[in-house]
Amino acid sequence: NAGVTQTPKFRILKIGQSMTLQCTQDMNHNYMYWYRQDPGMGLKLIYYSVGAGITDKGEVPNGYNVSRSTTEDFPLRLELAAPSQTSVYFCASTSQETQYFGPGTRLLVL
Amino acid sequence: EDQVTQSPEALRLQEGESSSLNCSYTVSGLRGLFWYRQDPGKGPEFLFTLYSAGEEKEKERLKATLTKKESFLHITAPKPEDSATYLCAVQESGGGADGLTFGKGTHLIIQP
């Protein structure tokens, strides 16, 4: 099992551009999450999903959208990138109430 | 008001010098408290889950304990490879699928 994989590893966006952060897990987990981590701050929950077709907002959802068409994939969409979205983004999936994290995507918006 | 507060923010120890990291939390009902290790440029790596006061878990040089208001991560005779940021997170009870609430972490440096 590869676990939780994320692509890309690093991306630079211009203000107003859009992009999709990819997250895939091969463990057949129903629950998946997106977090962002800013320097010196704890991880903040953006969106989560309890299964294909079901998503819900977390603590900081503004400026983001998600979809969950399959159990394996949980992409995060930024429609109009803003400098405040410069961060490191982590995807996670849950097995027996423990969240396992991917390696992260570092995003820089200039 | 932060629900999860970790202290100290940073800690520098000599190799072999034991110490403890603190995680205090304020939630109405605790479903689970989680400890993760995070290396620079990597995702958090799961260490322990604690569910009830009095519970303890051990792994190599690490031992996590839990009371009704805080958790400690004890590091015994640390080695330089234990250098990392240690994250504490809580999940509130309620039956939902809500994510974790994280503290800001403790940056631990073990000097040889």
Q: Please give the span between the terminal C-alpha atoms of chain A, in angstroms, as a whole number.
A: 36
| pLDDT tens digits along A89-100 | 999 999 887 889
- C-alpha A102/C-alpha A95 separation (Å) is 14
Q: Which residue has the higher pLDDT, A98 or B72?
A: B72
| DSSP string covering B57-72 | EEETTEEEEE-SSEEE
Report the pLDDT averaged over residues A50-65: 95
Report the pLDDT averaged over residues A15-29: 96
| pLDDT tens digits along B20-51 | 999 999 988 899 999 999 999 999 999 999 99
Q: pLDDT at residue B14 above 80?
A: yes
Which residues of chain A does B100 touch, with a Cβ-Cβ cutoff of 8 Å? 43, 45, 99
- C-alpha A50/C-alpha B83 separation (Å) is 34
Contact criterion met (CB < 8 Å) for A104 and B101: no
Contact criterion met (CB < 8 Å) for A48 and B98: yes
| DSSP string covering B44-99 | -EEEEEE-STT-EEEETTEEEEE-SSEEEEEE-S--GGG-EEEEEEEEESSSS---
Report residue B2's pLDDT band, with 50, 70 and 90 as the boundaries: low
- C-alpha A110/C-alpha A69 separation (Å) is 31
Any idea which residue has 């820089």 for tokens?
A108
Instruction: For the beta carbon of residue A48, count every other beta carbon within 10 angstroms.
Output: 26
Contact criterion met (CB < 8 Å) for A99 and B100: yes
